[in-house]
């Protein structure tokens, strides 16, 4: 087993010191030990995601029917919550990205990229624990949808599917012990670092020049994901079932996890390309495109409650209104 790096060791020390419970409870929560550890069994993840869907749609119905009173979107408390949410996820994503790369880079530089994405030795105990933290992040990010409902924003199929499917994707890869998963995780963390920082700045009414780059980077992320995980999956199946066909070697991981990962990431690419085309479609006149985007951005700057979910909700809704008008 490789020795844990400085970033990981430092973060582990800080989190353990700040943990409100006992050392035993800390180890229980941050150790992947299915089916005993949190969200490590199928019933637990299924129950959580069903609860997520029931919560967001039930909450929206309760607000719309007047059963619950929608909070004032201009309240200082809500603005502070959304701002802290974005800042924390941006910083957390950056630190987690740095810790994973600190673990993987020595393998990559020392033994090559194929070893880094396919060999069992790249799936270290430290890496698995970092992947587990990334998995927990996906449940935290479900709050994006709750914020949409609180702000009375439309819920897009892209947003709801992406958030729920990503949590389940992380679950399958942890169970499948896929060595290549660090590629998908790191690209996602890099995008989230930029994305959540973008919305934190928007909440503070600080102009950001990279609005379109946020969606573009997500599409590039999925293209890179597909290229690398398809390559790893190809090598797994060929080395296992048709070794006479040219390949580089065997890739570690379970078949079901590899296939599910390919399907989900491919669906993400299709959905985000469709979103990008609808948002920045060349079929619509440039003035309409610009008016739709400006309308959404003005909403951010007015209420100061920007979160990543707003990009899908407001840009799409504004573009649809402008094109139909």
Give the integer Cα–Cα distance in Å for 71 and 152: 10
Q: Closest Cα to residue 311, out of 228, 194, 220, 165?
A: 194
36 assigned to active site: no
The burial of 31, by beta-carbon neighbours within 10 Å (0-12 exposed, 13-18 middle, 19 or more buried), is given as middle
The burial of 36, by beta-carbon neighbours within 10 Å (0-12 exposed, 13-18 middle, 19 or more buried), is given as exposed
Rg (CA), the chain: 21
Q: Closest Cα to residue 183, out of 129, 221, 130, 210?
A: 221
Q: Which tokens is 42 given?
A: 């199928």
Which member of 85, 159, 162, 163 is catalytic?
162
Q: Which tokens is 44 given?
A: 């637990």
- Which residues are tagged catalytic? 162
């Amino acid at each position: 087993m490789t020795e844990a790096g400085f970033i990981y060791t430092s973060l582990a020390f800080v989190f353990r010191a700040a943990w409100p419970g006992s050392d035993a409870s800390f180890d229980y929560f941050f150790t992947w030990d299915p089916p005993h550890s949190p969200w490590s069994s199928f019933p637990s993840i299924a129950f959580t995601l069903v609860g997520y869907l029931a919560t967001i749609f039930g909450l929206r119905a309760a607000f719309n029917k007047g059963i619950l009173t929608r909070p004032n979107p201009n309240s200082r408390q809500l603005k502070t919550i959304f701002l802290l949410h974005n800042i924390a996820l941006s910083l957390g994503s950056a630190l987690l990205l740095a810790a994973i790369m600190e673990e993987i880079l020595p393998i990559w530089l020392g033994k090559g990229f194929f070893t880094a994405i396919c060999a069992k030795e790249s799936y270290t105990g430290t890496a698995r624990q970092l992947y587990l933290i990334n998995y927990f992040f996906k449940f935290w990010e479900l709050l994006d949808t709750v914020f949409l409902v609180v702000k009375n924003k439309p819920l897009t199929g892209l947003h709801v599917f992406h958030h729920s499917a990503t949590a389940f994707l992380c679950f399958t890869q942890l169970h499948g012990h896929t060595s290549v998963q660090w590629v998908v995780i790191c690209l996602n963390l890099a995008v989230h670092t930029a994305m959540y920082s973008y919305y934190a700045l928007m909440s503070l009414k600080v102009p950001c020049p990279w609005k379109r780059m946020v969606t573009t980077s997500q599409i590039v992320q999925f293209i890179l994901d597909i290229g690398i995980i398809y390559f790893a999956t190809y090598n797994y199946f060929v080395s296992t079932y048709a070794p006479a066909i040219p390949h580089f070697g065997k890739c570690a991981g379970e078949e079901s996890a590899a296939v599910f990962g390919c399907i989900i990431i491919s669906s993400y690419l299709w959905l985000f390309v469709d979103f990008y085309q609808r948002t920045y479609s060349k079929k619509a006149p440039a003035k309409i495109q610009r008016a739709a985007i400006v309308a959404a951005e003005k909403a951010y700057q007015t209420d100061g409650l920007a979160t990543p979910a707003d990009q899908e909700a407001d840009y799409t809704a504004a573009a649809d209104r402008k094109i139909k008008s």
